[in-house]
Amino acid sequence: MITILSITEFLETHKSAPILDVRSAGEYEHGHLLGSISMPLFTDEERSVIGTLYKHDGREKAIEKGLEYVGPRMADMVRRARQIMADGNQIKLYCWRGGMRSNSVAWLLHTAGMHVIVLEGGYKSYRRHVLHYLNQSFQFNVLGGYTGSGKTEILKAMQQSGAQVVDLESLANHRGSAFGALCMPAQPSTEMFENKLYQHLIQLNPQKPIWIEDESKNIGKVFLPHNIHASLKSSQTYFIICDAEKRREHLLSLYGEASIHEIQDALERIKKRLGNEAYQSGCDMLKSKKLDQFCEIVLRYYDRSYEGLISKRSAEKVIKIDIPSHWTHNDVAQHLLSQYT
């Protein structure tokens, strides 16, 4: 049996069925449905050859070449699908537009006795669905503060206490500054970041407070959807203020394991904005391995940047909160939750 479902039906029904992405590995890596499993009908190279044939020699030649590629591995695809399906008899799948690739694999698995559910319009329809959702306006509780304030750790403590939290930096695999990629895994594409953000947001209740960290338009190499960023800037911001020594200690705990070479590369990215004198001082501190003093230079630079950004917001939208130096991140989280939710 082969069932074709719209994107809404595909996402909301048969939730226990595994999902196969039959596009190429490169397409999958760039962006996919969360939880889907890559089982490409063609490799990236094969897909390129077939596309060229289709363009220059027509559909029939392209199909012949596709069959030539797929024929020898059809049995393996069925075996793998059975392993993925485990004890069930339903399996979902999609390709780029819900066309020949998904229909071909659906036919193969159906012939092998499986109930196959195909996404109408393919991954392209899923992306339209995601972007439509992210294009709405949201009301957030925005957590702001100077670099090194531990905003991410405070959000995690809030989440552990049951609060609704969106950790953008975790979704982006980046801490947001020029140094944000240090000690972090590779970033996803902006497309995959949007998919992850959508999947997280739909699990939250928009009628209850949603806490999120203040961010610029980009987090490293990924970009926030326009309306998410606009919502950040228009929502109430809770700007925590803690002493510089504590922030310096926090930066050392985050980046202390990075190599001097990696830190130097990150410093290079803000050389122009930092100014020659501060940049050279930073280089000297790194060469001398005086990371405490290096952090002071970085904090001064980012403090000026934050002050400029926060000054552009209306005063009534920013609540500044002085944090006692002995408070832990959990103490700050509990204070915010008890006073501002």
Catalytic positions, written as ranges: 95
What are the structure tokens assigned to 284, written together?
A: 């000297």
What sections of the chain are H helices per DSSP?
7-12, 25-30, 44-57, 59-70, 74-85, 100-111, 122-134, 151-160, 168-172, 190-201, 226-234, 244-255, 260-269, 271-274, 276-287, 291-310, 329-340
Name the nearest CA neighbour of 183 among 247, 250, 248, 257.
257
Burial 296-335 (b: 16+ CB within 10 A, else e): bbbbebbeebbeeebeebeeeeeeebebeeeeebeebbbb
What are the structure tokens assigned to 297, written together?
A: 């230079």
Do residues 112 and 78 lie in contact, with contact meaning Cβ atoms separated by under 8 Å? yes
Crossing angle, helix 59-70 and helix 100-111, to 10 degrees?
A: 40
Name the nearest CA neighbour of 152 among 329, 327, 320.
329
